[in-house]
Amino acid sequence: MSNAPVDTGRRRFLTWSTIAVGGVGAAFTAVPFIKSWNPSAKAKAAGAPVEVDISKLEPGQLIRVEWRGKPVWVVNRTKATLDALPEHDGKLRDPGSEEPQQPDYAQNGYRSIKPEIFVAVGLCTHLGCSPTYLPDSFGEQVEGVTSGFFCPCHGSKFDMAGRVFQGVPAPLNLVIPPYQFLNDTTIMVGADGKEA
């Protein structure tokens, strides 16, 4: 055994060097691991809001866009369509839209921000099929109602405010997504400016 004096300075240097190298190694290991918790670019894009140009949307016309992998309809409702909405309230399952299928700002008879522009997720609330828009021939499905949405899969029927008729498999009105008007000709689907 040697009785040589202990070099405490060298010991401290080695201890701190080991801690520093270990810390750097831990950081290099942790960064990719923590980054893996973030959603992928594809996942971010799937949930991103979608801008819709409605400048060329004619009265009575419907356009479809995709948001979060779902079809979203934007319909320019005619004055005649809007005037006819209250006439068939007695045939609807939830005419006042009491079920929470729309944001607060669409909790009205038109289920929209602007009466003429209707925005809805185009999926039946029964099993998720996509109903067909019948702008002029919906009377074959519901007597006295000119236009609406008919789901051919199981026969569910919705009016031009996306409200479900009685006696069909769909239990709820169509879902109204969050949306806002950026200007008179552009809608942002998926964002309404009310997020926290």
- Which candidate, 108, 119, 116, places its Cα nearest to that of 80? 116
Architecture of the domain whose range is 46-189 = 3-layer Sandwich (2.102)
* Domains of the chain by residue range: 1-38, 46-189
Q: Could you give the percent of the chain with pLDDT greater than 70?
A: 89
Record the tokens describing residue 49, joined without a space.
């809001």
- Which candidate, 171, 64, 168, places its Cα nearest to that of 118? 64
Residue 39: per-residue pLDDT = 56
43: pLDDT strictly greater than 60: no
With cut-offs at 50, 70 and 90, classify the pLDDT of residue 159.
very high
- pTM, entire model: 0.75
Record the tokens describing residue 80, joined without a space.
């005649």
Burial 142-162, CB ≥16 within 10 A → b, else e: beebbbbbbbeeeebbbbbbb
178: pLDDT strictly greater than 60: yes
